[in-house]
Amino acid sequence: MKFGKLSDITNVDFTLPNDHSVTKDALNKGQQELVIRQGGTMWNIPEWIGKIFPDKTPKKDLMRAYGTAYGTIELNATHYKIPTKEVVRNWYQAMPDDFVFCPKFPQLISHYRRFKNSDGLTDEFLEAILELKEKLSFSFIQLPPNFTSDHSEALAAYLKTLPRDMKFALEFRHESWFIPNERSFGIWELMNTQGIASVITDTAGRRDAVHMRLTSPHCIVRFGGNELHATDSQRLESWVDRIAQWKEEGLEEFQLWIHQPDSILTPETSQLFAEMVKRRLGLVVKAPSISQKLF
């Protein structure tokens, strides 16, 4: 994840902010037992072969191997190209019953058309990903870095067209969305009304994106790691502490999407997070087993 990436994190304060004032009300809507999932952003990582995938795993089997190690994925492939229904059905069949997909909205909608004149593209995208059936989790919209709250009217109009029987999430990037103003407030309120989850982006250079403002009893965190620097462990521990608090307040689901440079150390990060959750909450989070011969 290049967003907020810093070459020097020496002076970064990674402390998680206090919850936003509306977060507790959003959590109070929760009525189900907490589920925690974690995953990466792709499955075709050659460095994972012989590490968390069996030796000599052929390329065609990497997706299936990923599904045995993780419970979710930030599916970036859909951001660059709307897949055919046949491709999506193959994805569905490759993954186990406990796996869920979180496809990213096409950049044609969010970055190029900027939510205008996108009805046809949206229908095509949603019809395709519905082939994931019960394995479809949150479809998330990533706003462009230069998409300010001045564009809230176009965004609001678009969000209101989304079907209410599907799960959606929204990631803000421009600073204006985290500054209280009438335009940003309207979108946050709309998300709360429609149950659209807010994505929290935990990255070194953009601490404002760690907004701690939930709009539903679900939380998605895009975690930008720093190659297992000591602060990675400290940050994960802080997240587990916050999950424990939110669990008591009604949190239903927490998804951690791990970003490490080139995904090389994503398995180690996943294992660390799972161990922390087990120790602190007594919950099992699906994580890869790392070959002991590597140590």
By 3-state DSSP, what share of the chain in percent is helix, strand and coil, each rounded to 5?
A: 45, 15, 40
d(CA 82, CA 85): 9
| Domains delineated in the chain | 38-294 (3.20.20.410)
Q: What is the CA radius of gyration of the chain?
A: 19
Instruction: Report the distance separating Cα 150 and Cα 177, nearest Å.
Output: 9
* pLDDT at residue 29 in the model: 92
pTM for the model stands at 0.95
Q: What is the pLDDT of residues 75-126, one digit of tens each?
A: 999 999 999 999 999 999 999 999 999 999 999 999 999 999 999 999 999 9
Whether the predicted pLDDT of 167 surpasses 80: yes
Task: List phi, psi (to 5°) of 87.
Answer: -60, -45
Structure token digits, residue 95: 């993954």
Other residues' Cβ atoms within 10 Å of the Cβ of residue 49: 17
3-state secondary structure of 101: strand
The pLDDT tens digits for 40-73 are 999 999 999 999 999 999 999 999 999 999 999 9
Amino acid occupying residue 146: N
CB 289 within 8 A of CB 295: no
Q: Which residue has the higher pLDDT, 2 or 278?
A: 278
**CA–CA gap between residue 286 and residue 18 (Å, rounded):** 28
C-alpha span between 80 and 85 (Å, rounded)? 16
* Residues with Cβ within 8 Å of residue 239, at least 6 apart in sequence: 16, 202, 221, 223, 256, 273
Exposed/middle/buried for residue 295 (C-beta within 10 Å: 0-12, 13-18, 19+):
exposed
pLDDT of residue 295: 29
